[in-house]
Amino acid sequence: MSAEIRHISVVGAGLMGHGIALEFAIAGYDVSLHSRTQASLDRARSEIQLSLDKLINFELVTPERGSAAPDRIQATTVFEKAVEDADLVIETVSEDLALKQQLFQRLDSTCPEHTILASNTSSFLPSMLAANTERADRILVAHYVNPPHLVPLVEIVPTAQTSDETIETVVDLLTGMGKRPIVLHKEVPGFLLNRLQAALLREALWMVENGVASPQDIDLGIRSSLGRRWAVAGVFEIFDMAGWDVLKAMTTAVNPDLASAPDVSQLVKQKVAAGELGAKSGKGFYDWTPESAAALRQRIASALVEIEKWESDRE
């Protein structure tokens, strides 16, 4: 455990919040989990137990260690109680800039002077959140990937004012509990992961819109080739093996024709306007039932566990 961080607060008890709280509790930290409603906290408690059961079933957590974790999480609807003695706060509220800015301003005025304030935002620059606070040196983004209790990576995105001490403290904390943090050298929209993901998705949507391939065949292509390689080797590793002369020839031919429109895909706009939001609405590019959505989540979880075993063996 980190000597500098003893009490952690997670503000927001939704999909990401409950998983992040669970991870810290499993690692032995006292955690406060805040939500505005008791109903949300009750749902989070249920999800925490379900996630914990999966971790035990996957043999990633021992039953003894797992049984102690829920008692380390104090759930509350009282904001001040949740954050007043926190050493680290991670917010996971809705992806709304005004809401997050108001929250950071409130955290700045409520938390002790030494408290580090982190956001799990997937898109907003940390400097936007630090602007209305008096502790820009202790603010950063800690971007987890869903499901946070199964994906080891956390993106650390500092502002130009974030101190080296703050970055080191958070990196040491995460590394000590088995996460794999990466620290960006500077803030950019989308950070590292979502920039890569957005670039791939833009090209995939372009191919569907222009009749090149179906969504199902694009997914099959990723699952059956590129995705399998990326699970064990990164893009720079792969092209170091292939040779950058090969990459130069390929991109000379392909790059001029790649999708580059700055606007949101018309196909996505149409889906949203039609209420075809994906699994949450029962239809997206696929038709979904609660059972088929649960089956995909289970398939992803099982695969993530197996991939982590490969990584552990390699290390």
Assess whether pLDDT exceeds 80 at residue 3.
no
DSSP 238-251: HHHHH-HHHHHHHH
Q: What would the pLDDT profile of 20-51 be if each residue is shown by its tens digit?
A: 999 999 999 999 999 999 999 999 999 999 99
147, 217: one domain: no
Of the residues 23, 91, 155, 187, only one is catalytic, namely 155
CATH code at 221?
Answer: 1.10.1040.10
**What's the pLDDT score for residue 309?**
81
User: Which member of 32, 122, 149, 187 is catalytic?
Assistant: 122
Q: Which of 194, 203, 209, 265 is catalytic?
A: 194
When pLDDT is cut at 50, 70 and 90, the band that residue 169 belongs to is: very high
| Average pLDDT score over residue span 54-77 | 93
**Domain enclosing residue 143, as ranges:** 7-183
Q: Is 143 a catalytic residue?
A: yes
Active site residue 155: yes
pLDDT > 70: percent of the chain: 98
Name the domain boundary from 183, 217, 252.
Answer: 183
Do 120 and 88 share a domain, yes or no? yes
Q: Given this model, what pLDDT does residue 310 score?
A: 80
Q: Decide if 203 is catalytic.
A: no
Q: What percent of the chain is predicted at pLDDT more than 90?
A: 91
Q: Are residues 158 and 208 in the same domain?
A: no
Catalytic residue among 23, 143, 149, 187: 143
> Residue 138: inside a domain, yes or no?
yes
* 166 and 254 assigned to the same domain: no
Q: For the chain, what is the domain count?
A: 2
* Pair (110, 214) in one structural domain: no
Q: Does residue 1 have a pLDDT over 80?
A: no
The answer to whether residues 301 and 208 belong to one domain is yes
Q: Is residue 286 part of a domain?
A: yes
Model confidence at 308, pLDDT cuts 50, 70, 90, reads confident
- For residues 155 and 36, state if they share a domain: yes
